[in-house]
Amino acid sequence: MILPTENDAVPRASLGMTDAISIIIGTVIGAGIYETTPLIAKSTSSTVELFAVFLVGGLCALIGALCYAELATVLNRTGGDFEYLQEAYGRRLAFVFAWMTFWIVQPAGVGAIAYIFARYAAQLHDSLNVAHFSYIAVAAVAALTVANAFGLQVGTSTQKLLTATKVLGILVLIALGFLLPSVPTVTETPVSVPGTVNLELAFILVLYTYGGWNVIVLVAAEVKEPRRNLVRSLILGIALITVIYLLAVFSFEYALGHAGLGLSRSVASEIARSSLGDYGALFISLLICTTCLANINATILTNSRIFFAFGRRWHTYRWLGRWHGDFQSPVNALVAQGGIAIALILIFASGEQSFQRLVAFSAPVFWLFFLLVSIALFILRRRGYTSPEEFRVPLYPLLPLIFSAICVFMLYASVDYALATLRLEAMAVATVLIAGCVAAVIAHRAEPRT
């Protein structure tokens, strides 16, 4: 049952296709393109292989997007994945999904990016150092939470500005790479470090680099003409991201060569410094700061809708499901998720490595629910949740099966990593998961009987 909101205020469809694309690009393109590309290059044997891995990654994202597009048009509701899991598997599984997202997945992801932002922001002024990282990270999360609390228009305007600035900066970096003297290909020497070629690792890294495109379905009910704009924004957004990534890889390869790219510790800094000298460091700091802010803002904007939808489904947590009619935002959900993220930043004030480990150890939970959503498409189709008027994923059931197989692969890889490198953070994730299962049972029993 969906509980009524205060004053019957509900989300209004006000997002256009440009807004949706800016959210997708803002979420997907992060600092990872600079950090993972050298690792992917090191795991491939040639430039052609590197290009192929990034192209296949884009195709995998597109397949997943087509599956999500059908779900988002058939169940055009705020909350996206939460609503799909609710309809396919029942209330308690959806509860655990929202619980894990609220306590671990969302705050850990935001905290990790906020620390990267803080690290580069501190380089912009001599008076800032590592002791200020947690304060800078908290300030970024708090400011963007407040901006989104003031309404969807403020949040999306901020998103479009940050995304446009980020994309422009990346294009400038790509151009700088092409302006450098090309590194000649020497066929007599190996193009990769012997023993490092690992295509499985390369695909894992590239799929993470493309991650985040699905966030747009969380605000599906706020998108105008969803059948048209949701589908087109997902396809165009991923196509643009793939083109940007391929241009970036081409530029990096042109400037450093395949072996040089694989050995690079900071590909963006190396290219910027070679072209701009000391100004290159300032340019990279500003670019990565903008990249992180765009990612944080998109995550805050979209994930708050999960908790709003959760609050509308569960009486015990109904305070999360209140929609502010004047601001047109889920203020309570935004404040709650921002508070948890800030609390984790202060708890893990020792540095971003703890956040990165928390993200890594929560990955099995993320991919498990991603897999369940992919299977939900089959379940909902079988139950008749589709019609000729709605978008239908082409080549059904082939593309959904491919998407499910990708999720299984990533679930296996993330579980394998977690088991191989058990740490305190892994135990924290397991504890929260168990607590979520218990909380779901308690909340279900506390629901008023109708």
Distance separating the N- and C-terminal Cα atoms of the chain: 10
Exposed / middle / buried, residue 108 (Cβ in 10 Å: 0-12, 13-18, 19+): buried
Q: What is the pLDDT of residues 78-87, one digit of tens each?
A: 999 999 999 9
Token pair belonging to 447: 């629901």
CA dist 211 and 57 (Å) reads 10
What are the residue ranges spanned by the domains of the chain? Answer: 13-442
Exposed / middle / buried, residue 416 (Cβ in 10 Å: 0-12, 13-18, 19+): exposed
Q: What is the pLDDT of residues 277-295, one digit of tens each?
A: 889 989 999 999 999 999 9
> Are 197 and 55 contacting, i.e. CB atoms less than 8 angstroms apart?
no
Pick the CATH number of 13-442 from 1.10.150.130, 1.25.40.10, 1.20.1330.10, 1.20.1740.10: 1.20.1740.10
Residue 3: pLDDT over 70 = no
CA dist 219 and 207 (Å) reads 23
Average pLDDT rounded to a whole number, residues 253-274:
91
> Are 53 and 203 contacting, i.e. CB atoms less than 8 angstroms apart?
yes
Residue 99: pLDDT over 50 = yes
| 433: confidence class by pLDDT, cuts 50, 70, 90 | very high
Q: What is the pLDDT of residues 152-205, one digit of tens each?
A: 889 999 999 999 999 999 999 999 999 988 766 544 444 455 456 888 889 999
Average pLDDT rounded to a whole number, residues 354-360:
71
CA dist 118 and 139 (Å) reads 9
Task: Encode 228-264: b = buried (16+ Cβ within 10 Å), e = exposed.
Answer: ebbbebbebbbebbbebbebbbbbbbbbbbbbbbbeb
